[in-house]
């Protein structure tokens, strides 16, 4: 038992030493915004991910490395990866920990000497941290001692807690990075498939647009695919996006809903000669907040 506790102690001391040595070796290297650099926790206060001269966190294509500083106290580092600048997003150093980046969706764990492990994604309730298309961090991380860490005041309330009061009313804080996720829409495994629509035209028809209403929150996506058939049996029929591919979607762009997504003649489905029936799929992808679709209408003509 004594040996086990000693090994754990040595392991955590090693983490602290690696953070201090990495800070000396790599110097200024942060791509966090020099002003929009703050996360918030109700117990410990502000967490600075830029530092005073850009010596803070760094985001790249597969990880978040380096550190943040709690309450501007340079002795209270939050280590984001077991080495400051690893060669890949794989946790490839002992002890094994780190925050990983999957095109803006963050996961894994950071470490604080004062408070222990900080989780960037989890369940019960569902929570995560994500980087949206403008480089803004969204969502919450979790620590068993200090609780929720908020990365953006626009997140109205803690995960699993009812309420609509925006934190931005008292302080417009957020963490922002110059690193941006891919603009390529994600084909989620979460989709709803419509019933079969009968155009009544055996000579063919054309789909003009896809209209939807709902809410598209930051770091979420909504997209559509279309399928046509000569009968009401859609077994084996592919649902396709704008380039006649199963790997693309007609992506929603309006965060307030009420948007008509055009299906141009240069895209797929310009005119479905000989087809009479169609269906659509709506894909819903989320990080920390679910998108909402309340209405879908397909505009077509024959």
Categorize the per-residue pLDDT at 57 as very low, low, confident or very high, splitting at 50, 70 and 90. Answer: very high
Q: What mean pLDDT comes out for the span 112-141?
A: 85
CA-to-CA separations, 275 to 49, 204, 205, 230, in angstroms, rounded = 56, 5, 7, 5
Look at residue 73 and tell me whether its pLDDT is greater than 60.
yes
Q: What mean pLDDT comes out for the span 98-103?
A: 87
Look at residue 65 and tell me whether its pLDDT is greater than 70.
yes
Residue partners of 81: CB distance under 8 A and separation at least 6: 63, 64, 65, 66, 91, 97, 98, 99, 110
Cis ω on the peptide bond leading into residue 125 (within 30° of 0)? Answer: yes
Average pLDDT, the chain: 78
Categorize the per-residue pLDDT at 179 as very low, low, confident or very high, splitting at 50, 70 and 90. Answer: very high
pLDDT one-digit tens code per residue, 186-239: 666 778 999 999 999 888 888 888 999 988 876 678 889 999 999 999 998 999
pLDDT one-digit tens code per residue, 1-47: 444 444 444 444 444 444 444 443 344 689 999 999 999 998 999 99
Q: What mean pLDDT comes out for the span 78-107?
A: 72
Q: What mean pLDDT comes out for the span 278-283?
A: 93
Look at residue 121 and tell me whether its pLDDT is greater than 70.
yes
Asked whether the beta carbons of 175 and 37 are under 8 A apart, the reply is yes
Q: Which two tokens stand for residue 302?
A: 């024959």
How many Å apart are CA 42 and CA 103, to the nearest integer?
29
| pLDDT (0 to 100) of residue 9 | 45
| pLDDT (0 to 100) of residue 251 | 84
Categorize the per-residue pLDDT at 269 as very low, low, confident or very high, splitting at 50, 70 and 90. Answer: low
User: Tokens 């169609």 label which residue?
Assistant: 278
Domains of the chain, residue spans: 2-177, 191-301
Q: What mean pLDDT comes out for the span 248-257?
A: 78
Categorize the per-residue pLDDT at 278 as very low, low, confident or very high, splitting at 50, 70 and 90. Answer: very high
Categorize the per-residue pLDDT at 266 as very low, low, confident or very high, splitting at 50, 70 and 90. Answer: very low
The conformation of residue 244, written as its DSSP 8-state character, comes to S
| pLDDT (0 to 100) of residue 181 | 84
Torsion of CA 145, 148, 150, 153, to 10 degrees: -130
Q: Which two tokens stand for residue 134?
A: 């403008």
Whose CA is closest to 50, among 26, 29, 71, 64?
Answer: 29
pLDDT one-digit tens code per residue, 137-162: 988 899 999 999 999 887 755 565 54
| pLDDT (0 to 100) of residue 94 | 59
Q: Tell me the DSSP string of 263-287.
A: --TTSS-S-EET--EEEEEEEEE-S
In the beta sheet, which residues pair with residue 69?
A: 48, 77
Most confident among 98-102, 172-176, 253-257 (mean pLDDT): 172-176
Lowest mean pLDDT among 35-49, 96-110, 165-179, 223-237: 165-179
Angle CA 235–241–246, to nearest 5: 55
Cα 186–chain centre separation? 11
Q: What mean pLDDT comes out for the span 285-289?
A: 63
Categorize the per-residue pLDDT at 97 as very low, low, confident or very high, splitting at 50, 70 and 90. Answer: confident
């Amino acid at each position: 038992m004594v040996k086990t506790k000693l090994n754990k102690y040595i392991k955590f001391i090693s983490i602290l030493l690696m953070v201090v040595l990495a800070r000396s070796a790599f110097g200024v290297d942060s791509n966090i915004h020099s002003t929009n650099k703050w996360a918030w926790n109700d117990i410990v206060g502000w967490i600075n991910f830029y530092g005073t001269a850009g010596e803070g966190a760094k985001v790249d294509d597969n990880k978040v490395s380096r550190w943040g500083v709690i309450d501007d106290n340079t002795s209270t580092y939050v280590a984001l990866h077991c080495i400051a600048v690893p060669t890949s997003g794989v946790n490839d150093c002992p002890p094994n920990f780190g925050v990983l980046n999957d095109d803006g969706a963050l996961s894994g764990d950071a470490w604080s000497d004062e408070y222990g492990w900080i989780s960037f994604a989890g369940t019960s309730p569902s929570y995560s941290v994500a980087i949206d298309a403008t480089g803004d961090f969204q969502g919450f991380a979790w620590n068993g001692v200090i609780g929720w860490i908020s990365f953006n005041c626009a997140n109205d309330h803690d995960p699993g807690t009812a309420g609509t009061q925006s934190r931005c009313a008292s302080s417009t804080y957020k963490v922002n990075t110059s690193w941006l996720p891919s603009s390529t829409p994600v084909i989620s495994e979460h989709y709803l498939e419509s019933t079969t629509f009968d155009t009544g035209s055996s000579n063919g028809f054309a789909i003009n647009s896809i209209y939807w209403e709902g809410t598209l929150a930051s770091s979420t996506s909504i997209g559509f695919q279309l399928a046509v058939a000569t009968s009401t049996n859609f077994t084996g029929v592919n649902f396709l996006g704008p380039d006649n591919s199963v790997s693309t979607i007609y992506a929603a762009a309006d965060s307030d809903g009420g948007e008509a997504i055009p299906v141009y003649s240069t895209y797929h489905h310009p005119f479905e000669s000989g087809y009479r029936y169609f269906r659509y799929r709506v894909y819903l992808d989320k990080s920390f907040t679910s998108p909402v679709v309340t209405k879908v209408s397909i505009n077509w003509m024959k």
